Amino acid sequence: MTLSTRNPGAAALALAALLAGTACSAPPQGLARGEAIYDTCSPCHGSMGEGTQRLGAPAIAGLPQWYVETQLRNFEAGYRGAHPMDTVGIRMHSMAQVLRQEGDLESVAEYVASLPRADLEPVLAGDAQAGAAVYAETCVACHGPAAEGMEALGGPPLVGQSDWYLLRQFQKFRMGWRGTNTGDMFGMTMRPNSMLYTDEAVVNAIAYVQTLN
């Protein structure tokens, strides 16, 4: 199926139609089914999962399956993308509602995890050297020495991700648009850290993370 890249808002409806139409004949859980479902993600996240800054949609290629699954559930539960001011997050909130059939969410997460990590151009101008100190002081504990992520603590990889998106999410934690729901166990561990640093310090930490890519 094809979707207009000019109208990504139609994607949720299109996926609902796709899933309704294939209710009896969906391929078994796994990569093939994930790839088919991914057609509905690509208008926003790009055909290779590289993201689209204009739409606020992050790179998701190569994110670990456990993290993609957690976030799809978090959007569905309204732990993310439900704040009335979060007009960008809401796009993804409505999208996650339609992965209804058993195995859909796991299949698409498996497919996303299988995509090679995107090669992304930094758009922020932070001081990576100053940022190394911030990273070593705090972020390393949950995001890992190479920013590769730490599954046991729920910390996602920060490498392979656009700098503009990382900054925006940090701010969303600080503003309480993410990480405030008591059901959001991992988000709640991130939020206090977002209150420790100014935007300048975070932009520097993110510049350091870009050097680890």
Options 70, 107, 162, 210; binder of ligand HEC; rule CB under 6 A = 70
Residues 129-158 that bind ligand HEC (CB under 6 A): 134, 138-139, 141-143, 153-156
| Site pattern 8..47 for ligand HEC (x: CB under 6 A) | xx-x-------------------------x--xx-xxx--
Alpha carbons 61 and 118: distance in angstroms, whole number: 6
**Quick check: 207 binds ligand HEC (CB under 6 A)?**
no
Paired tokens of 83: 């704040």
Options 26, 36, 95, 207; binder of ligand HEC; rule CB under 6 A = 95
Q: Give the shortest CB-141-to-ligand HEC separation in angstroms.
A: 5
Alpha carbons 198 and 87: distance in angstroms, whole number: 23
Alpha carbons 65 and 75: distance in angstroms, whole number: 15
Stretch that binds ligand HEC, among 17-25, 58-66, 113-121, 122-130 (CB under 6 A): 58-66
Residues 93-99: contacts with CB under 8 Å, at least 24 apart: 94/12, 95/11, 95/12, 95/15, 95/40, 95/41, 95/44, 96/72, 97/12, 98/12, 98/15, 98/16, 98/19, 99/15, 99/19, 99/37, 99/72
Stretch that binds ligand HEC, among 19-27, 84-92, 115-123 (CB under 6 A): 84-92
Q: Contact 61/50 with Cβ under 8 angstroms?
A: yes
Residues forming contacts to ligand HEC in the complex (CB under 6 A) are 8-9, 11, 37, 40-41, 43-45, 55-58, 60, 63, 68, 70-72, 74, 80-81, 88-89, 91-92, 95, 108, 112, 134, 138-139, 141-143, 153-156, 161, 166, 169-170, 186-187, 189-190, 193, 197, 202, 205
